[in-house]
Amino acid sequence: MRIISLLPSATEMVCAVGAQDELVGVSHECDFPAGIPGLPILTRTRTTLPKASGAIDVAVREMLKDAIAVYEVLVDRLRDAKADVIVTQDLCDVCAVSLDDVHKALKELGTGDVNIVSLKPTLLQDVWDDLRRVGVALGREAEGEAAALDCEARVRAIGQRSTTALAGAKRPTVLTIEWIDPVMIGGTWMPELAQLAGGEALLAEPGVHSPTVGLDELSAIDPDVVLIKPCGFKLERTHEELDLLQQRLPWDTWSAVSKGNIYLADGNAFFNRPGPRLVESLEILAACVLPDEFAEYRTKHKDSLQRIAPDLSIVGL
């Protein structure tokens, strides 16, 4: 079977069910697991985006307002790939090529016999069910079921462990930040992850897309724990925008700042990819919410999690 994946989380699902060797093309953002970057790249951004997150937001909103897709399919490479199955998404036009663009590209090529698997997860269970769907589509139903059951069991175990550790005590309030300028709060599956980690999510509801909030709304809350993981940004990239935190957040009034409970995570690899590594994302969040209970996860993910001091310097966990 010749498989194309047009978004990073789908690529990780294909690999999770044991079909990595059957991949013949991926998106320009697919970078995990090892070996994926060597595959043919079938998508690209339509234009070079600016570097600053505020400018990126403006540019993307303008493109979408004008009904211009952020990404495009490289039709010639799609033809050469001769795919049997394409795994794509219908969740976010800012995350990957749209489902409509995939259909248009196939129509242009006159290809009507390709099986398109479109993913649209908004809750954790959707992600695990998508893993099963990918397994079925690739003729690996048993592998997909096993991978999904493993993710469900690991997530459930962390949730049970955090509940036991709290022993009825009040849950710490948790704010997860998806984008810095403007500030966007982690929605969809993020409130579920916060609950499983032992916390109570603020300003977002499970299954609802990330809301954009202003300084007034942020000043009205005082979260116990704040996790900042801009979508698509590695840690080093986020370091370039740390100065924005004092401008976009109530930095001088939040107790989490003075208590050292502001964390920075790798948003490119974790949290924002609705795939198997949401389990590792939960481990990272649990290490922030209940650090004494989940100390081993602070060690395990030390390269993907950092703590920010009040002066914006990076300090040890």
102/209 same-domain check? no
198/295 same-domain check? yes
Residue 51, number of CB atoms within 10 A of its CB: 10
Within a domain: residue 137?
Answer: no
Within a domain: residue 93?
Answer: yes
Q: In this predicted structure, what is the pLDDT of residue 37? A: 87
Residue 38 DSSP code: G
- For 85, the domain range is 3-120
205/293 same-domain check? yes
Q: How would you class 186 by CB atoms within 10 Å of its CB: exposed for 0-12, middle for 13-18, buried for 19 or more? A: buried
Within a domain: residue 43?
Answer: yes
Q: In this predicted structure, what is the pLDDT of residue 238? A: 96
Containing H/E element for 263? strand 262-265
Q: In this predicted structure, what is the pLDDT of residue 68? A: 65
195/107 same-domain check? no
Q: How many domains does the chain have?
A: 2
Domain end marker among 88, 120, 152: 120
Within a domain: residue 62?
Answer: yes
Instruction: Tell which phi-psi region holds residue 229, choosing left (phi > 0), alpha (psi between -120 and 50) or beta.
Output: beta
Q: How confident is the model over 171-200, as a mean pLDDT?
A: 98
Q: In this predicted structure, what is the pLDDT of residue 47? A: 78
Cβ contact 259:301 at 8 Å:
no
Distance from C-alpha of 254 to C-alpha of 250, rounded to nearest angstrom: 6
Within a domain: residue 54?
Answer: yes
188/105 same-domain check? no
Q: pLDDT tens digits for 30-52?
A: 999 999 989 999 999 887 888 89
Q: pLDDT tens digits for 212-232?
A: 999 999 999 999 999 999 999
Residue 45: CATH number of its domain: 3.40.50.1980
Structure confidence at residue 67 as a pLDDT band (50, 70, 90):
low
Structure confidence at residue 66 as a pLDDT band (50, 70, 90):
low
Distance from C-alpha of 231 to C-alpha of 29, rounded to nearest angstrom: 12
Least confident of 95-104, 151-160, 287-296: 95-104
Within a domain: residue 244?
Answer: yes
Distance from C-alpha of 52 to C-alpha of 183, rounded to nearest angstrom: 13
> What does pLDDT average to over the chain?
94
10/113 same-domain check? yes
Amino acid at 308: I
Q: In this predicted structure, what is the pLDDT of residue 96? A: 75
Structure confidence at residue 92 as a pLDDT band (50, 70, 90):
confident
Cβ contact 120:89 at 8 Å:
yes
Give the percent of the chain with pLDDT over 90: 85
Instruction: Tell which phi-psi region holds residue 270, choosing left (phi > 0), alpha (psi between -120 and 50) or beta.
Output: beta
The CB-based long-range contact list for 48-54 (8 Å cut-off, 24+ gap) reads: 52/181, 52/241, 53/179, 53/180, 53/181, 53/230, 53/233, 53/241, 53/244, 54/181, 54/182, 54/244
Q: pLDDT tens digits for 14-31?
A: 999 999 999 999 999 999
Domain end marker among 120, 143, 161: 120
Within a domain: residue 18?
Answer: yes
Q: How would you class 62 by CB atoms within 10 Å of its CB: exposed for 0-12, middle for 13-18, buried for 19 or more? A: exposed
Within a domain: residue 138?
Answer: no
